Structure 1
Amino acid sequence: MNYLQAFILAIIEGITEFLPVSSTGHMVIASAIMGIGKDEFVKLFEIAIQLGAILAVVVLYWKKFFDFSKWQFYVKLIIAVIPALVFGKLLNDFIDEKLGNPIFIAVVLLVGGIILLFIDKVFTKPEVHHEAEISNMSAFKIGCFQVLAVVFPGLSRSAATIIGGMQQKLSRHAAAEFSFFLAVPTMCAATGYKLLKGYHLLNAENVKLLLFGNLIAFIVAIIAIKSFIGFLSKHGFRVFGWYRIIIGVVILALYFSGTPLHVS
């Protein structure tokens, strides 16, 4: 991997991590197209640069994350992240296998896109508009929705948790913000686990690439988060649904045209 490739993957991570379009699916396919998808460090890089995106959330919502008087906020995040940690560990081999299957990712993108086309018409009467109004049970149920994204690469953690929030009667705005908050412990755990498993890959040059990638992901994620909240509140999910469908079709077209997309 060179710095240009790292730059491209980091931009993809920063833009897509908090959008309901699957950052993992985009990075896996992009790395395969660039011919670096089979590299073990690249697989580590794709997970580890999530730290930059995490930092963007913490910086933008620093008052929320560092207001220790509101301990209930942290309890909700712990409750919500537990299902993903459990199933992520139990199904690690299955997940790794599906990450290397472009057909699986494309199909999940397509199905998720079709769902997003209609999701705004399903949840039309939100009752919860602020994080403080979310109950512990609702937080747990949103965390269960997140498991779907863990088990089915390409679904999008953001899409799953936002839809889970809306199913719990959160407004689009509140659901998106809680999805951002939940991303912090979820991605910290995933990144920490990946780094522990792949620490032997961290030579001096690779560490520089990781620092560079995290910086780019951080900058791009800040812009993406600010833009997404406003867009989602006004326009809903439909455009993201069509985007996912187009990307899914493109991946299938590339695969069946003979473009090498296998990454494992």
Structure 2
Amino acid sequence: MDWLYSVILGIVEGLTEFLPVSSTGHLIVAGDLLRVPWQKNVLDTFEVVIQGGAILAVVVYYWRDLVRQASTINKDAGVQRLWLGIVVACIPAVILGALFGSKIKALLFTPTVVAWALIVGGVLMYFIEMRPRPATTHKLESISLPQAITVGVVQCLALLWPGFSRSASSILGGMLTGLDRPTATKFSFYLGIPVLGGATLLDFVKHKDDLGAAGLTNVGIGFVVSFIVAYFVIGWLLRFVSTHDFKGFAVYRIIIGVIILVLIYSGVINNLNRA
């Protein structure tokens, strides 16, 4: 049955990594509901590796743009500004993760914390959508350094509060600084490449020995499923945000958060720490 766990968790990761609903939260709850028989350290490492599949999906989806940017970065001021902004936006998360990442995992990786993060994040998302700020930036290459720094700082909410969602915090941070919805979403995708890619690589190097317990075939299945699902989710989300706001995601977060709390207090979900 391990291959089935891999498929389901790969689907969950691919569906939720770039939607503003928290992949970490959904994986914690899914792993508990499925009663995955792997030890916590094995499951944690498995989830980090299949996250790499979702990151690869972004690289493949944008590979033409990435190649073009790489070939013109030495002479294109807009591309230089974009990637300087991405580098600067990564710095707060890198510092926070290095200083407090292990402590946050040890203290806060529980379904209850995730549930409240989903609810609070949903309320904030709905409030921001009810009071939208005028969009002043409509292209990735036009994102200013202060805007990028703001997105990077707001993104740290996802590190400080598991379940808040890196995608949600970075997209909302972008919208608060004047990015239109599609541009904020694209910037969140781009920002995920170094942030999630670096975290995945570091975690893999530190805990690669744990993968044997899950089975390399199962890890490969989860990685591929995550990649395929995430690739289609990226395209769908870009089309969605061009004509819709995030109120539906906000309502979903609140509802799923309440459901998780009910399942915890009814004993269906174990509230033990996942770290």
Same fold, TM exceeding 0.5?
A: yes
Q: Within 1, Cα distance between the matches of 2:18 and 2:57?
A: 11
- Which residue of structure 1 aligns with residue 76 of structure 2? none
Q: Within 1, Cα distance between the matches of 2:213 and 2:268?
A: 33
Q: Within 2, Cα distance between the matches of 1:35 and 1:161?
A: 32
Deviation string for 1:244-264 (max 9, x for gaps)? 011101110110001242244
Q: Residue 19 of structure 2 contacts residue 167 of structure 2 at CA under 8 Å; is this kept in 1?
A: yes
Q: CA deviation at 1:215?
A: 0.7
Q: Residue 38 of structure 1 contacts residue 263 of structure 1 at CA under 8 Å; is this kept in 2?
A: no
- Which residue of structure 2 aligns with residue 14 of structure 1? 14
Q: CA deviation at 1:220?
A: 0.4
- Is 1:184 the counterpart of 2:185 in the alignment? no
Q: CA deviation at 1:204?
A: 8.4
Q: CA deviation at 1:94?
A: 2.7
Q: Within 2, Cα distance between the matches of 1:33 and 1:204?
A: 20
Aligned residues: 264
Q: Within 1, Cα distance between the matches of 2:86 and 2:168?
A: 17
- Is 1:135 the counterpart of 2:144 in the alignment? yes
Q: Within 1, Cα distance between the matches of 2:224 and 2:86?
A: 25
- Is 1:207 the counterpart of 2:216 in the alignment? yes
- Which residue of structure 2 aligns with residue 30 of structure 1? 30
Q: Within 1, Cα distance between the matches of 2:161 and 2:50?
A: 20
- Is 1:197 the counterpart of 2:198 in the alignment? no
- Is 1:95 the counterpart of 2:104 in the alignment? yes
Correspondence 1:124-163 to 2 at 5 A: 124-163=133-172
Give 5+ residue unaligned stretches, structure 2. Answer: 74-78
- Which residue of structure 2 aligns with residue 164 of structure 1? 173
Give 5+ residue unaligned stretches, structure 1. Answer: none
Q: Within 1, Cα distance between the matches of 2:215 and 2:39?
A: 16
Correspondence 1:211-250 to 2 at 5 A: 211-250=220-259
Q: Within 2, Cα distance between the matches of 1:133 and 1:183?
A: 19
- Which residue of structure 2 aligns with residue 51 of structure 1? 52
**Superposed CA RMSD:** 1.7
The 1:204–1:104 alpha-carbon spacing in structure 2 relative to 1, beyond 3 Å, is closer
- Is 1:40 the counterpart of 2:41 in the alignment? yes
Q: Within 1, Cα distance between the matches of 2:130 and 2:214?
A: 49
More divergent stretch after superposition (230-239 vs 245-254) = 230-239
Q: Within 2, Cα distance between the matches of 1:43 and 1:87?
A: 20
Q: Within 2, Cα distance between the matches of 1:43 and 1:205?
A: 11
TM-score (norm 1): 0.94
Structure 1 counterpart of 2:4, which letter?
A: L
Poorly superposed stretches of 4+, deviation over 4 Å: none
Q: Within 2, Cα distance between the matches of 1:207 and 1:225?
A: 27
Correspondence 1:73-84 to 2 at 5 A: 73-84=82-93
Deviation string for 1:105-149 (max 9, x for gaps)? 111111111112222232231000001100122212111111111
Q: Residue 13 of structure 1 contacts residue 27 of structure 1 at CA under 8 Å; is this kept in 2?
A: yes
